């Protein structure tokens, strides 16, 4: 049986302040929760309206109305789990690292994380004003990929300034075609804000600039779409290792 205080606590974790205070986050849906468990995340609390789904874990059985009271979804799933946030691991072992400046849309960030998981990118560095990766909408958008991709939040300008031993590639509207760029050395790929792109200061810290050639009339691509195209091309040209 779930208590009212437990329901209240889970609901509070929808707020970043509470997630930061307790170092916890909420994942919903059988597939998403199972992905985290498969990657050795141990549930802090596990709730289900169908105990057969998690018979090997100590799950608290709840009613549909109780699940609805805890859930951030309009149509709640039959599984909800509270996990501890991942501990920060070593960084910069990958040949291709993604850096994000001021990404604001949770759906965009979630899709970018899934793209990184698909293409084997393990490290993502986010500016401090990028949307929280433990935001419930981000968690849902990643479909569990966050369990395999490390996101670190840093002063992006300061961090890039210390990474001059790598190529730092700006994604812009006016650069070398992504289809002509070699991607032949350890690289940091920098993706900018959905509306403004990269700040002038961040652009000044980059060593190269690339663009996705436009063949039609669309004004722009969103951040996640652009990331997918560029990362796919980078992996095509340099598929060895991570």
Q: 18-35 pLDDT, tens per residue?
A: 999 999 999 999 999 999
Rounded Cα distance between 152 and 130, Å, is 10
Pairing assessment for the beta strands 167-177 and 150-154 based on DSSP bridges: unpaired
Domain boundaries, the chain: 4-84, 96-237
Confidence of residue 91 (pLDDT cuts 50, 70, 90): low
Q: What is the pLDDT of residue 239?
A: 77
Checking if the pLDDT of 121 tops 90, the result is yes
pLDDT at 119 over 70: yes
Mean of the pLDDT values across residues 91-119? 94
Q: Does domain 4-84 have CATH number 2.30.30.40?
A: no
Q: 96-237 falls under which CATH superfamily?
A: SPOUT methyltransferase, trefoil knot domain (3.40.1280.10)
Share of the chain above pLDDT 90, in %: 87
Count the neighbouring beta carbons within 10 Å of the beta carbon of residue 1.
8
Model pLDDT for residues 38-62, shown as the tens digit of each residue: 999 999 999 999 887 776 668 999 9
Sheet containing strand 43-48, edge to edge, reads: 24-28, 79-84, 43-48, 60-61
What does the alpha-carbon distance between residue 111 and residue 113 come to, in Å, rounded to a whole number? 5
* DSSP, residue by residue, 25-94: EEEESHHHHHHHHHTTPPEEEEEES-GGGGTTS-PEE--HHHHHHH-SSSS--SEEEEEEPPPP-----S
The pLDDT of residue 115 is above 80: yes
- Comparing CA positions, the residue from 12, 52, 13 lying closest to residue 30 is 52
Whole-number average pLDDT of the chain: 94
So what's the pLDDT on residue 51?
Answer: 80
Question: What confidence tier does 89 reach under pLDDT thresholds 50, 70, 90?
Answer: confident
Sign of CA dihedral 170, 174, 179, 181: negative
């Amino acid at each position: 049986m779930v208590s009212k205080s437990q329901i209240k606590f889970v609901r509070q974790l929808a707020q970043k302040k509470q997630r930061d205070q307790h170092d916890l986050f909420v994942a919903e849906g059988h597939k998403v929760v199972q992905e985290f468990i498969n990657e050795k995340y141990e549930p802090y609390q596990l709730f289900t309206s169908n105990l057969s789904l998690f018979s090997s874990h100590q799950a608290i059985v709840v009613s549909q109305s109780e699940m609805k009271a805890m859930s951030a979804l309009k149509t709640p799933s039959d599984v909800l789990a509270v996990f501890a946030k991942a501990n920060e691991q070593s960084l910069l072992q990958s040949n291709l690292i993604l850096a994000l400046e001021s990404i604001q849309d949770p759906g965009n960030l979630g899709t970018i994380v899934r793209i990184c998981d698909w293409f084997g990118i393990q490290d993502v560095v986010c500016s401090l004003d990028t949307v929280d990766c433990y935001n419930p909408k981000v968690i849902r958008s990643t479909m569990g990929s966050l369990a395999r991709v490390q996101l670190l939040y840093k002063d992006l300008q300061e961090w890039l300034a210390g990474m001059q031993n790598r190529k730092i590639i700006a994604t812009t509207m006016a650069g070398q075609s992504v289809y002509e760029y070699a991607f032949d050395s350890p690289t940091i790929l920098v993706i900018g804000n959905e509306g403004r792109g990269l700040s002038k200061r961040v652009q000044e810290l980059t060593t190269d600039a690339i663009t996705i050639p436009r063949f039609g009339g669309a004004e722009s691509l969103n951040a996640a779409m652009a990331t997918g195209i560029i990362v796919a091309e980078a992996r095509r040209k340099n598929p060895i290792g991570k």
